[in-house]
Structure 1
Amino acid sequence: MTAWLMYLGDDPKRVGGGYDDSSSTHYSWDSRVPNSAHVQVGDVIALWNGDTLLGTSVIEHIKTGTGTKDLSSCPECGKADIAERKTMTPKYRCWTSACKAEFDKPAVETVPVTTYQARYESGWIDLHGHVSGTELRALCEEKKSQNALRRLRWDDFRARVETGKNATPLDVVDTTREVIAGGHTKRTVRARKGQPAFRAALLESFGQMCAFTGPMPAYVLDAAHLYSYAANGKHHTSGGLLLRKDVHRLFDLGQIAIEPTTLTLDVAPKTLAWDEYAKLQGKPLTVPITATHKKWIAAHWEQHREPITAVIPPQAGAGQKLAAAP
C-alpha cells in the first residue's frame, strides 16, 4: 500500500500558488511539486499542517489539468532558494551558500504546469491533533524530507493512530479502498448539480427525520441517494432518504445496508464493533417508503451483501441492470 503525508498549511508558496484545498474533501498540487506524478487513485493520504495531523483518507479520483505558475528566484544567481524576511530589509535573501544576495524583489518567471486535484471525501476520518508534527516526520520514509508530498510508512502510521493516545480505528480506510478497487471511483466524486433542491424535496417529504436513527436537526441530515447518481445523472426524490452524516457515509460504503424483504438495517461486522452502530442492527426504517425506494434498496443490498434479484420489483424492467448506491 502506498501512503502519503500531504502538507496543508499556511506556507506562502501554497497560498501564492493559488491551490484550492479543503482538508476533508480535496487537495491540489502541480507538476513542480516533487512526487507530483507518483500519487495515484487508491493511495492512502494523511494531511497535516506542519504542527499536527488533520486526518486521513483514500484518494478516490485525481483530476488533472493545465495552468501556469509564477516561480520566484534570486536575481543574482537564479536559484529558487530564497526566503522572505518579515522584519529586515532588503525584504528577501538568497540562502544559496555561494550567493547570499539580498534584494527587495525576486525575479519571477511564469511557467506552464500540470495541475492535480485529489478527491477523497468518502473515506475521510478527522484526526485533528491526534499525532504531532514531530511524530509524523519520524513516520515518513525519509525523515528529513521537506517535500509537501512525502511517502509515509503506512503500517507504522496506522499502529500509532489505532493504539496511541486518542486511539481511532481506521477500518473505514480499508473499506473505502475495497470500494475503489471495485471500480466505483467516478461514482463517488461526480458533481451533483441540483443537490440542494433534492435535499429540500426530501425534507418536505420526510421532515427532519433520519431514516435510520429518527428525529434529527436538519443541519446534520444529508440527502442520500439510494442509487448511483453518477450512473443515473438525475435526482429522484423517490430514490433518496435523509440520513445523518455518519450513517450516510457508512451506507455509501456498504457498512450499513437495508435488508430488502424485512426493510431492517444490517450492520457489517467491522462496524458492529461500535456500540453506536451495533444498536441499529435489525432496526426498521423510521420513515415510510415507496416501491421505488425498495427497488434501489434491493440494488444496494445486491452490491454490498448478496444477490437478491427475486425481490426487485417488476417496475425495474425485465433484465434491467439496476445502478448501485454511490
Structure 2
Amino acid sequence: MTSWVVKIGKETPEHWGFARDDRLWDVRRPGFFGRIEPGDDVYFWLAKTGLVSWVRATTSLYPIGPHSRPARWVDNHLGQYTHRFEFEVISDDVPHLAVWEELRTAGGKKYAAQSPANEITEPNAELFLRAQFGKQSDVAFVDVPVSYTPGADMRERAERQITLRRGQARFRNRLIIAYAGKCAVTGSTVTSVLEAAHIDRYYGDHTNHVTNRLLLRSDIHTLFDLRLLTVSDATTVLLAPWLRNSEYKPLHGKTLQLPDSSTAHPDTHALARHRESCEWA
C-alpha cells in the first residue's frame, strides 16, 4: 500500500472539519488521486500550518454522481468537484506541527508543497508521518444515541451505528488489506458494506486479532453471527438447510476466499468452534 499527503488550502482550513465529519474528500481533477486504493494511508496537510490528520482510505477514487451525498465545501470551486474517495480517521492528535522541509528531509525527496497530492513511498518519510501523531482512534464515533427526539438527525445516528457495526477501524482496515478489499464469502468489493466479523465472540483484546476475524459483506456477517452460515474444515461455506433454496443457495459449498498471506488466514480452531455452535451442522 502507498501513503499520500493531501493538501488543504490555507484559505479553507474548515474543510478538514467537514471531511472528518463526513469521512469523504472531493477533488476537481483525478490526477494522482486516481491511484489511491482502499487501505492507503492519507495524511491531510493544511497549507502554511502542517499536518492535521491521518486517515485510511476505504474506497478508491470514484465519480460523484447525481445521487452522491452532498459535500459542504465552501470555496470558489464549489460545484466543480468531480471525484471522491472515502476514509476512516486514524488520528487527528498532532502534538507537533511539522513543517514541509522536515518531510522533505525525512524522505530525502523534494515533495511538491503546491501539489494537491504527493505520493509517499519512501519508508523513512512514512515513519516520519506516523510519528507526528499521538492517540489513534479505533472507532470514529464512541457515543451512539439510544433514544430518538423529534428533529434528531437520524442519518447521523445510522452512520454512527454502521461505524460501530463495521468494527474497530484499525482492525477493519487490516482485514481490507489482507483480503484485498473483497468479502471472503461473496467476493463483493463494495467497501462500504464490508465488515470485520469476529469468529470467536469478542471477549477482550486477546480475541481482537486478524486471525479471529473474517471480512464479510454486512448481510453475510449477520448470517454468520446468527449461526446460519459457517465454514467447513475444508474452508467451504455451509448454509443452514432452510437457506439452501433461498437467494443464498449459490454460496453453499463455495470455497472461502482467503488472504494471500497465510499469517492472516482465519484460525482453524476458532472456525471449528463456530461450526460446532451451529446446531444444524
TM-score bracket for this pair, using the shorter chain length: 0.3 to 0.5
**TM-score, normalised by the number of residues in structure 1:** 0.41
**TM-score, normalised by the number of residues in structure 2:** 0.46
Q: Pick the structure with greater CA Rg.
A: 1
Comparing both structures, which one devotes a greater share of its residues to strand? 1
